[in-house]
Amino acid sequence: MSTTPPDGVRSTAAAVHEPSTETAAQAQVRQRKMALAAIVGTAVEWYDFYLYAAMASIVFATVFFPSGDPQLAALQSFATFAVGFLARPIGGIVFGSLGDRIGRKRTLVMTFGLMGVSTGLIGLIPDFQTIGVWAPVLLVFFRIMQGLGAGAEFASAAVASYEHADASRRGSMGSWPALGMNVGLVMSSATVFVLSMFGDDFLFSIGWRIPFVASFLLVAVGMWVRASVPETADFAREVEQHKKPKFPLLQLMKNDWRGLTIVIVIALGYTSISYIFKTFSLAYLTQFQGVPSSTSSLGVTLAGILAVIVIPFLGRLCDRWSSKIVLILGGILSGLWAWAFLLLLGNGDTWAIWTALIVGSGLLVPMMIAAQGSFYSRQFPVATRSSGVGSAREFGTAVSGAIAPLGALALVTASPTNSTFGVGIVLTASAVLVVVPALLDQGRRHSTTKN
């Protein structure tokens, strides 16, 4: 065990108000700062990440790859989307360990800067006609940088929110990063919708670059917000009591493998459902149903707006019922909705498409993501919490996030009739992966609360 705090941690820990010495007003101010930092920071990071997903579905196949077979170009574009997911476990492991070594706050600032700058630089890459193969090469490079930053974002924000919360409000506080994610989704999809209203020529030439370059400004605002948040009292106590593990990952693998396994499997299932609902659907509607990008992007925007509205209520349900129950319920309902979702997409009617996206991405997926912040955090003790949530969630997310939308699109492409039946099987199996491990909740080993 390390007996000397790293540079800067001792002063940070000393500045933390212990819950026992805080007034109620001081605790409220601290928690509001954390809520704002979680929502604003996560919104900007996931605006960047979802923006890439939307543009990969609609624009990048034309801009960054040679003309020819449009379906092949779409698969290549989705492959660059998958590369970001492959980088996320590395980001989760590296920055998760840093969160347990140097603190939650400093890690949040580091990941935020990496993600925002990488996104801005994507908007400056010349197209394939200008620089040839270097266009997709640069796209992949900056996508990897995005993945490293995003790899620790949700975990870091969720752990910090969970540790700043009162015991009775850990479910609702843990849902703030989920709210930020959906604010980011609304921002990105609304941006794509507005740009698409100017026509495909504008969108495919310079329009798509505008929101990427705007990330430089957004990241400056987010850095300022996150710098104002104090370190968590839980981490400060670990520093003062010399309980910080020198090698968090080794301790994690040795003592907390049950929680690690549970989070990985749930992340596999949840991410498959989420990205098939949000990302595969855009490509399917564009490539196989001939639906204008403005229609599908508006549907995703409406779903995101609903998610922003319902997540605070879902967070309160986590406090009242427990995050475990909310997570399981979201998984079961998602599995049941999968078949209706695909039938509605195949209908091709605007209202059917919007219904599929709004129910799936606006209500059912938020049930699972709102519960994750507190559920995942309580699977691990303080000493390895950041490492555990970051590495496990991002490993599961990387595998399914890289494979699910690309695999679903490949299944439809390979079908002689472009059937979505195989996609329905994938969604049903993914729901099982959410529900079963949630029943094996390890929270009682590390927490005295049900949230």
Q: Give the count of beta carbons closer than 10 Å to the beta carbon of residue 421.
A: 12
Q: Which residues contact 278 (CB under 8 A, 6 or more apart)?
A: 50, 53, 185, 300, 303, 357, 361, 365
Distance CA 5, CA 240 (A): 8
Helix (H) and strand (E) counts in the chain: 22, 0
pLDDT score recorded for residue 1: 40
Check: CB of residue 392 under 8 Å from CB of residue 154: no
Q: What HEC string does 82-99 produce?
A: HHHHHHHHHHHHHHHHHH
Check: CB of residue 149 under 8 Å from CB of residue 91: yes
Under the banding of pLDDT at 50, 70 and 90, the label for residue 6 is very low
Residue-averaged pLDDT of the chain: 85
Check: CB of residue 100 under 8 Å from CB of residue 387: yes
Check: CB of residue 92 under 8 Å from CB of residue 385: no
Q: Which residues contact 7 (CB under 8 A, 6 or more apart)?
A: none
Reading the block at residue 371, the tokens are 């519960």
For 392, the 3-state DSSP assignment is: helix
Cα torsion through 402, 403, 405, 410, rounded to 10 = 130
pLDDT (tens digit per residue) in 305-334: 999 999 999 999 999 999 999 999 999 999
Least confident of 28-42, 59-73, 212-226, 273-287: 59-73
pLDDT score recorded for residue 2: 38
- Which of the following CATH numbers is that of domain 19-445: 1.20.1250.20, 1.10.10.10, 3.40.50.2300, 3.30.9.10? 1.20.1250.20
Check: CB of residue 72 under 8 Å from CB of residue 406: no
Check: CB of residue 54 under 8 Å from CB of residue 297: yes
pLDDT (tens digit per residue) in 379-388: 999 889 999 9
Q: Measured between alpha carbons, how far is residue 279 from residues 256, 261, 365 in Å?
A: 33, 26, 13
User: Would you list the domain boundaries of the chain?
Assistant: 19-445
pLDDT (tens digit per residue) in 78-109: 667 667 777 888 998 998 888 888 888 888 88
Under the banding of pLDDT at 50, 70 and 90, the label for residue 284 is very high
Instruction: Calculate mean pLDDT across residues 117-129.
Output: 87
Q: Would you say residue 11 has pLDDT above 60?
A: no
Q: Give the count of beta carbons closer than 10 Å to the beta carbon of residue 322.
A: 21
Residues of the chain with pLDDT > 70: what percent?
Answer: 89
Amino acid at 227: A
pLDDT score recorded for residue 447: 60
Residue keyed to tokens 């981490």: 235
Q: DSSP assignment, residue 445?
A: G
pLDDT (tens digit per residue) in 401-425: 778 988 999 999 999 999 999 999 9
Distance CA 443, CA 371 (A): 13
Q: Give the count of beta carbons closer than 10 Å to the beta carbon of residue 240.
A: 16
Q: Would you say residue 23 has pLDDT above 90?
A: no
Q: Would you say residue 270 has pLDDT above 50?
A: yes
Check: CB of residue 111 under 8 Å from CB of residue 158: no
Q: Measured between alpha carbons, how far is residue 239 from residues 55, 141, 396 in Å?
A: 43, 36, 30
Distance CA 162, CA 170 (A): 5
Closest CA to 184 of 85, 45, 296, 58: 45
pTM above 0.85, yes or no: no
pLDDT (tens digit per residue) in 222-240: 888 888 888 888 888 877 7
Least confident of 5-9, 272-276, 444-448: 5-9
Phi, psi of 123 (to 5 degrees): -70, -10
Under the banding of pLDDT at 50, 70 and 90, the label for residue 191 is confident
Phi, psi of 65 (to 5 degrees): -130, 155
Check: CB of residue 267 under 8 Å from CB of residue 395: yes
